[in-house]
Amino acid sequence: MAFFANEQKLTIAMPKGRIFEEAVHFLQQAGLEVTAELQDSRKLVIPVENARLEFILAKPTDVPTYVEYGVADVGVVGKDVLLEEERDVYELLDLQIGYCRMMVAGLPDWKPTEALRVATKYPKIASRYFREQGQQVEVIKLNGSVELAPMIGLADRIVDIVSTGRTLKENGLVELEHICEITTRLIANRASYRMKSEAVDEIAGKFLEVIPGKK
């Protein structure tokens, strides 16, 4: 029997990386048929034939792009990516998994400089945040190991997501300012939200039932 009562096939974009395992576990709890293939495969497109579902495994930052262009109907993605990418998609549900914080961090003995330099994987979030604080900063975009930047003198501050704080501590950095909380969201394409409204509602309903603290 099909997972969906209707005949609408749904394509779901899933983020590989930080929140993947937790997201797959969430899908299983919600009663979606998640094959072993999804977890182990190197394939990027994985159909679940009898459930009229199809998964696209994507880099997290690309999930909102796929959904905006409509090649995926819905997607599972962190709020950090949504804030950075500013895509035109529906943000339907807070799945309350993949919890972390967007922080400003730096060395504890740091002294203010004339032009604050900020290293981050999230240039838009960083610029917007400091602008709201009434501070003009120079943002340097990095693609990983952002914690390095203050240690080697590339930047005064970093803006990054922190979950346990261990990486920061191990690199001698301290959390200085809290920007916002980050959780994982269910997003939907503008047209799919209407054209496949039943299928989108059904999956959102299944998800809603297993969101922690929402029962």
Partner 1 sequence: MAKPLGFEKPLGMRDILPESLAKQRHLEWALRHCIERWGYEEISTPSLEYYDTVGMASATLTDRMFRLLDKQGHTVVLRPDMTTPIARVVSSLYKDVPLPIRLFYQANVFRAQEKEAGRNAEFFQTGIELIGDGSVDADAEAIALAVFCLRAAGVETFRIAIGHVDFVDGLLEDVIAEEEVRQQFRQYLHERDFVGFRQLLETVAIDSEGKKRLDALLRLRGGKSKIAEARELAGDGKAGRAVETIASLWEALEAYGVTDDLLLDFNLIINLNYYTGVVFEGYAADLGSPLLGGGRYDQLLAQFGRSAPATGFAIKMDRLLTVTPSLRDQEPKRILLLYTEARRSEALAKAQQLRADSQVVVTRLVAGKAEIMAESGQGYSKVICMTEQEE
Query: What does the binding site for partner 1 look like in residue numbers (CB under 8 A)?
Result: 68-71, 79, 88-94, 185, 189-192, 194-195, 197
Q: Cα–Cα–Cα angle for 37, 10, 3, nearest 5°?
A: 75
132/170 with CB nearer partner 1:
132
Q: Tell me the CA distances in angstroms from 166 to 109, 112, 147, one per residue in order.
A: 19, 25, 11
141/194 with CB nearer partner 1:
194
Q: Say how many C-beta atoms besides its own lie within 10 A of residue 61's C-beta.
A: 17
59/194 with CB nearer partner 1:
194
Q: How far is the CB of 41 from partner 1 (least distance, A)?
A: 26
Q: How far is the CB of 39 from partner 1 (least distance, A)?
A: 27
70/123 with CB nearer partner 1:
70
Q: How far is the CB of 88 from partner 1 (least distance, A)?
A: 7
Q: How far apart are CA 97 and CA 1, in angstroms?
A: 29
Confirm if 116 and 157 have CB atoms less than 8 A apart: yes
